[in-house]
């Protein structure tokens, strides 16, 4: 039998309460716990699922006043040399020359860290000697502290040769950090805080440049004197010294570390 609606009446029920209730407090707590902890975790972790991360830091670099110089005075293998190491100088005999050296580091932005080294060397030569090639090694102390506490001794190496005798070599470049692996971000890392030279050795093999550079390159963290702009000046007067000028900058680095 069919049914017919003969009357309907809507019913509206409203529940009202003050905003200052336990239910409101509970709702605010739930909302806060839903959104704030994940944001804090993401901020503190610098992102999710990262294994390697990077950051920028101005290294604390200081020149150690250790220098080794070999200057080719002919195209047939003649040379003169000098270093800050007594044992090396004792091995040079008549090839030893004592230059005039000046070095000054600058903190250009006054942040307490040096920004560049201005190095100048004036090498006295005999009247018959000419300069065709130059090799230099300068050593530095290199420190990082922001995320990775890292201390090492490093070097800047430069080489230039020309078929035309010169009176001056000027180089301008950056002492850049080179990493084969991320730096440790926990504890103090001093594994490479060792001297570039075995300056206590009386043997010539201890100062062999090929061996020094090979041993240095075996490290997983080194510095490279890069972005060099050499300027070779010809035309030296007979009684004038050969001049070597170097500007070595300590740029801000992008450091890689494990996360």
Task: Write out pLDDT tens, residues 147-195.
Answer: 889 999 999 999 999 999 999 999 999 999 999 999 888 889 999 999 9
Give the mean pLDDT of 27-55. 78
pLDDT class of 1 with cuts at 50, 70, 90 = low
pLDDT at 108 over 80: yes
What tokens were used for 107? Answer: 């903190």
183 CA to centre of own chain: 12
User: Which whole-number Å values give the CA distances from 77 to 13, 101, 132, in the listed order?
Assistant: 105, 25, 10
User: Residue written as tokens 């170097």?
Assistant: 246
pLDDT class of 46 with cuts at 50, 70, 90 = low
Q: At 67, give phi and psi (nearest 5°).
A: -135, 140
Give the mean pLDDT of 248-254. 95
List the chain domain ranges: 22-49, 54-258
Strand pairing partners for 72?
79, 133
Give the residue, 204 or 139, on which the prediction is more confident. Answer: 139
235 CA to centre of own chain: 36
User: Which whole-number Å values give the CA distances from 20 to 13, 24, 25, 28, 43, in the listed order?
Assistant: 22, 7, 8, 11, 32
Q: What is the pLDDT of the chain when averaged over all its residues?
A: 90
Residues 6+ apart with CB under 8 A from 101: 67, 119, 120, 121, 122
Q: At 58, give phi and psi (nearest 5°).
A: -85, 115
User: Which whole-number Å values give the CA distances from 146 to 59, 92, 164, in the listed order?
Assistant: 9, 44, 47
CB atoms inside a 10 Å sphere around CB 72: 18
Span of 43-52, 55-64, 155-164 with lowest mean pLDDT:
43-52
Print burial letters for 212-229: b (CB count within 10 Å at least 16), e (below 16): beeebeeeebbbbbeebe
The H-assigned helical ranges of 21-137 are 22-45, 86-90
pLDDT at 44 over 80: no
Strand pairing partners for 68?
83, 137
CA 182 – CA 166 distance, rounded (Å):
42
pLDDT class of 12 with cuts at 50, 70, 90 = confident
- Are the CB atoms for 123 and 99 separated by under 8 Å? yes
């Amino acid at each position: 039998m069919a049914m017919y609606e003969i009357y309907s009446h809507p019913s509206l029920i409203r529940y009202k309460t003050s905003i200052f209730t336990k239910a409101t407090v509970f709702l605010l707590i739930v909302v806060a716990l839903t959104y704030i902890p994940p944001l804090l975790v993401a901020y503190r972790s610098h992102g999710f699922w990262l294994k390697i991360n990077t950051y920028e830091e101005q290294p604390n670099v200081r020149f150690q006043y250790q220098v080794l110089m070999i200057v080719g005075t002919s195209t047939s293998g003649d040379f003169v040399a000098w270093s800050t190491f007594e044992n090396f100088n004792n091995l040079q005999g008549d090839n030893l020359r004592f230059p005039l050296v000046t070095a000054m580091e600058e903190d250009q932005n006054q942040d307490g860290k040096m920004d560049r080294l201005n190095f100048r060397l004036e090498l006295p030569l005999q009247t018959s000697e000419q300069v065709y090639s130059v090799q230099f090694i300068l050593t530095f102390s290199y420190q990082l502290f922001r995320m990775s506490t890292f201390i090492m001794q490093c070097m800047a190496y430069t080489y230039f040769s020309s078929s035309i005798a010169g009176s001056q070599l000027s180089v301008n470049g950056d002492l850049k950090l080179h990493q084969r692996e991320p730096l440790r971000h926990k504890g103090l890392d001093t594994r490479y805080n060792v001297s570039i030279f075995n300056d206590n050795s009386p043997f010539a093999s201890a100062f062999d440049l090929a061996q020094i550079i090979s041993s240095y390159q075996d490290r997983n963290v080194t510095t490279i004197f890069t972005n060099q702009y050499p300027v070779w000046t010809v035309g030296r007067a007979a009684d004038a010294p050969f001049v070597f000028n170097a500007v070595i900058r300590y740029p801000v680095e992008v450091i890689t570390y494990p996360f």
